[in-house]
Structure formats: C-alpha cells, structure tokens
Amino acid sequence: MDSDHTVALPHYVSYSFSLPGPHFADLQNQLSGNESVWLRNGRGLIGLGSIASIKAEGSERFSTLRQGWLGWVSNTTHLYDPSAPWLEHTPGVGLTGFSAITFDPRSAQQSVIAIPELVFGHRLADPEATGFSGAQANGNEPAANVRTWVSWLLERERFQDLTGLSVQALQDGAELTASAHEILRQSALDAAQQLREQATPVEQSTGTNPVLESGWISDEHFVRSVQTGLEYLSAGTAEKLVLSRDAVVRSEHALPVAQILDRLAQRYHQCWTYSVPGPGVTRLLGSTPEMLIKSQSGYVSARLLAGTLDRVGHDQDPNYPIDNLLKDQKQRIEHQFAIDSLTQELHGMVCDLAAPAEPFLLELPNVWHLASDVSARLTDEARKSGCAIMDLVERVHPTAAVCGTPTPVAQDLIYQLEAYDRSWYAGPVGWLDHTGNGEFGIALRGGILETAQQIRLYAGCGIVTGSDAENELAETYAKLRPMLQALGLAESTTRSTLPRSR
Ligand SMILES: C=C(O[C@H]1C=CC=C(C(=O)O)[C@@H]1O)C(=O)O
C-alpha cells in the first residue's frame, strides 16, 4: 500500500448523481450573478464556484484550450451514482467547463475555459435527470466537497489499498456502497449550499440608474465604416462583410447581473442565455439566438442566422416579414453566404450533412431572422479526437454570419474598418464536457462586463451589395434592444445620438 496518499491520489475526482427537478429551477430562480450559465427553455447548465480557468491567446487559442482541457480530462476520475446509470452518458455531466473564445486572434482579450467547482445540469426531458458534478485539483487548496469525498474514501481501508490504481477501481461506481453514495451526495449538496451562501450578492436594480453612452464606435463611425465597406464590396474585394459597433451602459451601482440573466432567460427563452467568467471581474453575458455548433454523442447541429427585420411597428401585418425577409433577395443572399461558410468548413469532419433548401422565419421578441437548422453526424475519425466539440468550433469559426466572404479578406477588412477589439463579441461561447460533447453559440446580443458598474454591448450587421448604411445602423439598435431592456433601460430606446462615454 502506498502510504503517501497525496502523491498516489489520482489527481481530480468528479462525482455525479441525479437530483429532483426543483433543485435546478430553484437555482435558476436564485442566481447570484457569479455563476457560469447556459440556459434555454428552463434547461441547461449552471456552474458554481471556480476550480480553475484555462487561458489562451492568439491564433493558437483553440489548440491551447483543447490541450489544456484534455489535460484536465485525463487527470479526472469520474464517479457516478449507480442508481442513475444514464448520467454517465448524459452530455454535460462529469467534468464540464464553460468557455468564451475571442472573435479575432489579434484580440488583447484572453480566451477561457472556466471550470466550476460544481455544475448543476438539467439536460434531458425527464425532470428527474438533473446531473451534478464536482472536481478539484489535488494539492491545491481543496474545496470542501471533494476534500470530504476524498478524505472519506481514504479513510476506508479498501480504498486505501486502491490508491495506486484507484482510477480504474473508483471508476466503477458499483464499488461504492449505498451509504458511501449518500455521503458523497450529501457532502456535494452541503458544498453547493456553502457556495451559494458565499456568492457575493449583487445589488438589485432598485436605486441603480444605468445610462447608455456611445462606445468606441459612434453612430457616425459605424455609418462611415458601412459606407466604406460597401465600396469594397462594389470593387469586388469581398462579397459580404459583417460590421459591428459597441455601446456602453454604466451605472452608479453594481449592475444586477443575476436579474439581467433572469430577464434574458425569461423573455428570450428560445435563445441560449450565457454567462462566462473571464479574467478578473470581466464576464461575457447575453442571450444568443445563434447556435454555432453543437455536438452530442456523435450528432452535430447548428442554427444559422443571417437576415434581420425589426418587429417594432410591424407586428400586426403577417405579410411584412414574408415580403421583407423571406422573399427579399438581398436578405436571402446574405443568408446563403452564412450557410455556405458553415457547410464548407464542416466537410471532412462530418457525414450525412443536411441543410434545408429554404430558411425559415425565426420570430424573437425584438426581430425576425432568416434561420436554417443544419444537422450532420461526426465521422468516426472526428469522434475519436477526444475533444470533437473544440475541433468543430475551431473549424467553423468565424462563419459569414459574423465575419463575411471570403473569410480571411472579410476578417482583415473588419479589423481595418472597425478599428476596435471585438474581444469575445461574435466569438464562440458555450460549454464542453470530458467526452467531447458540447454546445457553442455565437456571442451575440450580449456584452462584456468590464467593471461591476459597466457593461460594453455589441451589435453588428451583415452587409452585401445593396445594403443601406442608415438602415444597418437602425438594425444595430434593434439588436441591442434585448440587453438594453434587460438592463432596465427604456423599452423605447432606439436610435439616438449617444453621449460619448467618459
Ligand atoms: C452580427 C449579429 O447578428 C448576426 C446574426 C443574425 C443576423 C445578422 C444580420 O442579419 O446581419 C448577423 O449576421 C449581431 O447580432 O451582432
């Protein structure tokens, strides 16, 4: 028997079991704002606490994140409650991280995978199927839950005998007695309770007085960059460009992150509401209607959007979105570029690729979009890579929904015309698990919390020949609306000349 447990211990441990459904709903209703979040239609993942954050920069950021993640995966032993055998095959159960990746490799922002201490999930149709997992580095200051589990395990003689080869032995959940599971489960729940109590409560909106100000890119700057972009298009330098702008919301008090997320998740329930902690106090949050790529048990899917129409003032006319979006040639061309960019990049990694011949109208509370749901299956080779979701994300980012066509030309023109750092805006945001499953949306309709009192919002528009700069500017305001409303700014906030931020 190895007497030095700290050396012989198998690195990290995660333990997953099922919880009755209400736990997830409770957690959603009581967010503190410090969680990692991925929610849609009341389902998703909520991460509490923080074990580690994998960070990366530059054009190698995808492979650095992938490598860092695989390091964690190979160092983690997964334990599952044997009374919930489906958990082992449930995406987002076991070691799970939340990730935000920059749009451009030249960004000064870091790309991250944040690994929470505890992850609550509600993934399946069955409300009982709520997963829960925890992981903790051995050697660093261990969190209460895993310290309890591991020390408890080490106190049992038969596990002491196993410390040298415990990865295999402990992976077999059936080895643990029913009472052992009860102890693990209870200690995990205690830790969850502790984390929730420790979470710094964010100030509620009462008393806050947020104001909207111009960001780095003013209305005029945006209009000028669209006009110059159109000149490049007519010169044939590119066929499509997606140009963006920012706007700043600042408040005298801490912004109510939990409330913002709650409002987004309620109102934009068919979108994916996200919140990922970055370095320091920074955080990416929002609610995106666009699924960049999702990979679960070999099945791949995406929801691709391009083509937008503001709903304000047109809700009563059912033909309005049909005539001005579905049947509009310019919007259809803009959409097709986005589909082509995705499907071309997927080739080689997937088979049975299915993209609909016609887009459908996606109705959101603020806008209509042209949308296409694409599906495929991973090739056997792609499945074996160990981190299929990150491979897919690297392959498909950036699509022409947020960059343009041809991709490298558009990316350089964006860099030149916008002349600001998009940071995480329009980059991939989502989660991944230890089996290579995951979901990454495109970080749209959101913002970056820069300080407790300040959030930078972003919005962009695809332009093709025939686009009008003033219309595109108005469209940015329609796309900013979900965040402005969630921040408690006037529902009527539309186009205006914004004061410059200080
Ligand atoms: C770039 C954004 O939206 C993209 C996604 C849907 C529709 C778009 C459009 O119609 O321009 C954009 O391609 C954004 O929201 O900032």
Q: From the CB of 309, is ligand 1 less than 6 Å away?
A: no
| For the CA of 425, the nearest atom of ligand 1 | 16
Question: Global pTM?
Answer: 0.88
For residue 59, the one-letter residue type is: S
| For the CA of 402, the nearest atom of ligand 1 | 1
Q: Which residue has the higher pLDDT, 489 or 158?
A: 489
CA distance 417 to 244: 10
Q: From the CB of 250, is ligand 1 less than 6 Å away?
A: no
pLDDT digits 0-9 by tens, 267-307: 999 999 999 999 999 999 999 999 999 999 999 999 999 99
pLDDT digits 0-9 by tens, 230-268: 999 999 999 999 999 999 999 999 999 999 999 999 999
97 Cα–ligand 1 center, Å: 26
**ipTM for this prediction:** 0.99
Kindly state the DSSP code that residue 488 receives in the 8-state scheme: T
Q: From the CB of 460, is ligand 1 less than 6 Å away?
A: yes
CA 228 from chain center: how many Å? 32
CATH superfamily of 211-486: Anthranilate synthase (3.60.120.10)
Q: Are 285 and 275 in contact (CB under 8 A)?
A: yes
Answer whether residue 161 shows pLDDT above 90. no
Report how far apart the first and last C-alpha atoms of the chain are (Å, whole number): 65
Q: From the CB of 403, is ligand 1 less than 6 Å away?
A: no
| For the CA of 307, the nearest atom of ligand 1 | 10
pLDDT digits 0-9 by tens, 62-98: 999 999 999 988 888 777 777 777 788 888 888 899 9
Residues with Cβ < 8 Å from 469, sequence gap 6 or more?
A: 223, 226, 227, 230
Q: What confidence tier does 194 reach under pLDDT thresholds 50, 70, 90?
A: low
Residue nearest to atom 10 of ligand 1 (CA): 307
Give pLDDT, residue 187: 58
Enter the tokens of residue 312: 């304000």
| Residue extents of the structural domains in the chain | 5-198, 211-486
Residues with Cβ < 8 Å from 197, sequence gap 6 or more?
A: none
Determine the angle formed by the axes of helices 22-29 and 257-267, rounding to 10 degrees.
120
Q: From the CB of 369, is ligand 1 less than 6 Å away?
A: yes
| For the CA of 244, the nearest atom of ligand 1 | 16
pLDDT digits 0-9 by tens, 300-317: 999 999 999 999 999 889
Q: Which residue has the higher pLDDT, 480 or 50?
A: 480
Mutate to test the pocket of ligand 1, among 290, 328, 461 (most ligand atoms within 8 A of CB): 461
* Radius of gyration of the chain measured on its C-alpha atoms: 23
Residues with Cβ < 8 Å from 111, sequence gap 6 or more?
A: 55, 56, 57, 61, 62, 65, 99, 100, 101, 102, 424, 427
Selection from 128, 123, 98 nearest residue 43 by Cα = 123
Which residues sit opposite 99 in a β-bridge? 113, 430
Share of the chain above pLDDT 70, in %: 77
